[in-house]
Amino acid sequence: GRAALATGLEKSLTAQILHTYETRLFPSADSIEVKRTFIEKFATILVTEFPGWEVDIHVFGSSVNGLGTSRSDVDICLTTEHRELEDIFLLNKALRKHNMRTYCIPRARVPIVKTWDPELRIASDINVNNTIALHNTRMLQTFVAVDGRVRPFVLAVKHWTKCRDINDAAFGGTLSSYAWVNLAIHFLQTRNPPILPVLHPRARSLNAEKCMALGEVDLSFNDNIGQLREFGRGNSESLGFLLYAFFRTYAYEFDYRTQVVSLRNGCYLSKAQKGWDVGRPSRIFCIEEPFSTWLNLGHSANTIAVEGIRREFQRAFTILRDGGSYDQICEIY
């Protein structure tokens, strides 16, 4: 059942989350300006190094989806018909000529150049012609626009994961920001009554199934913000209560062994239903990518990491239950 938090605790926790959101998480005007300057500088580098090439710059990820902070990196997707640029070492060389520190990850599912601009002090991940994330960015923008609680709630979750060192899929073997965001959004979809809607079509059409079979992804979803705004008004749960219930859910209620988090469907699926119960460790955390539904966003975390993440949920829940503060659960690991 709904084990409530004492009203006083719930109110003060909500106030603490909002305070952190307003003073430390909401991106500063300065940081937005620095990002703009960086993108201009980057555009100039491209024109200088590849004169006459038509290359479009698309910014995606948290600097545009509403779920970034002043310190978030800038995620950039370049689109161009000059496919030779898909060899990211070419871009790497160009950036280095302009004093950028770079590091290539050429063999990833999405090859990227990781860049650090020592002058503007800003990090960037750049890919070429990999447009899939532009669509999930638009999806997250839509969720953020539907209800005013989404942005502070998701930022509060992300901040906690970064402080507790469980937000590093590539090097830490935990979960990516994108996986955490999926988890947090899905949680808001599964409130009763729900705070967020399901944006994807209920069942795949036969046609869509065929496209999938051809290795194509169905990119459609409901992005009619005008129609969706205020969807969550039937639910009056506070940020404090939501965070507390989120921790409880993943500390004690979610069945890591059998369940799959599906934002696409706005509910839990079973591992068996997705065929994810065979050929992989049963304790792995399953979070379905909403567009490329065969991908598990939790794949980066092994059994031991999942146990660690679960202990973090339990720790946060216990602290809040016993009257602790948001700052306390975010104590640097």
Q: Select from 143, 178, 241, 254 the one that contacts ligand ATP (CB under 6 A).
A: 178
Does residue 87 contact residue 97 with C-beta atoms inside 8 Å?
no
Instruction: Give the dihedral of Cα atoms 190, 241, 255, 300; nearest 10 deg.
Output: 90
Question: Is residue 284 at the binding interface for ligand ATP, with CB under 6 A as the rule?
Answer: no
- Nearest-approach distance from CB 230 to ligand ATP, in angstroms: 25
Phi/psi of residue 117, nearest 5 degrees: -95, 105
Say how far apart CA 86 and CA 106 lie, in whole Å: 10
Task: CB nearer to Mg ion: give 49 or 168.
Answer: 168
Question: Is residue 73 at the binding interface for ligand ATP, with CB under 6 A as the rule?
Answer: yes
CB under 6 A: which stretch of 51-59, 71-79, 96-104, 307-315 binds ligand ATP?
71-79
Task: CB nearer to Mg ion: give 75 or 289.
Answer: 75
CB under 5 A: which stretch of 60-68, 97-105, 142-150, 165-173 binds Mg ion?
60-68
Does residue 174 contact residue 168 with C-beta atoms inside 8 Å?
yes
Question: Is residue 176 at the binding interface for ligand ATP, with CB under 6 A as the rule?
Answer: yes
Does residue 161 contact residue 154 with C-beta atoms inside 8 Å?
no
Q: Select from 14, 20, 72, 92 the one that contacts ligand ATP (CB under 6 A).
A: 72
CA torsion through residues 237, 243, 248, 251, sign? positive
What are 322's two structure tokens? Answer: 């016993």
Q: Select from 289, 293, 300, 309 the one that contacts ligand ATP (CB under 6 A).
A: 289
Say how far apart CA 176 and CA 157 lie, in whole Å: 12
Question: Is residue 75 at the binding interface for ligand ATP, with CB under 6 A as the rule?
Answer: yes
- Nearest-approach distance from CB 176 to ligand ATP, in angstroms: 5
Give how many residues touch ligand ATP by CB under 6 A: 18
Does residue 157 contact residue 313 with C-beta atoms inside 8 Å?
no
Task: CB nearer to Mg ion: give 62 or 127.
Answer: 62
Please list, residue by residue across 267-300, b when 16 or more beta carbons sit within 10 angstroms of its beta carbon and e when fewer do. Answer: ebbebeeeebeeeeeeebbbbbbbbebeebbbbb
Q: In what order do the strands lie in the sheet with 122-128?
A: 55-60, 74-80, 122-128, 112-117, 101-105
Question: Is residue 297 at the binding interface for ligand ATP, with CB under 6 A as the rule?
Answer: yes
Q: Select from 68, 232, 240, 298 the one that contacts ligand ATP (CB under 6 A).
A: 68
> Of Mg ion, ligand ATP, none, which one sits near residue 137, judging by CB under 5 to 8 A according to partner kind?
ligand ATP
Q: Select from 14, 16, 20, 62 the one that contacts Mg ion (CB under 5 A).
A: 62
Task: CB nearer to ligand ATP: give 14 or 72.
Answer: 72
Three-state DSSP state, 158: helix
Nearest to 24 by CA among 188, 137, 156: 156
Task: CB nearer to ligand ATP: give 68 or 232.
Answer: 68
- Nearest-approach distance from CB 278 to ligand ATP, in angstroms: 22
- Nearest-approach distance from CB 3 to ligand ATP, in angstroms: 31
Say how far apart CA 330 and CA 32 lie, in whole Å: 25
Say how far apart CA 177 and CA 126 lie, in whole Å: 17
Question: Is residue 60 at the binding interface for Mg ion, with CB under 5 A as the rule?
Answer: no
- Nearest-approach distance from CB 125 to ligand ATP, in angstroms: 6
Nearest to 285 by CA among 266, 308, 317, 265: 308
Task: CB nearer to ligand ATP: give 92 or 176.
Answer: 176
Residues forming contacts to ligand ATP in the complex (CB under 6 A) are 60-62, 65, 68, 72-73, 75, 125, 132-133, 136-137, 176-178, 289, 297
Residues forming contacts to Mg ion in the complex (CB under 5 A) are 61-62, 73, 75
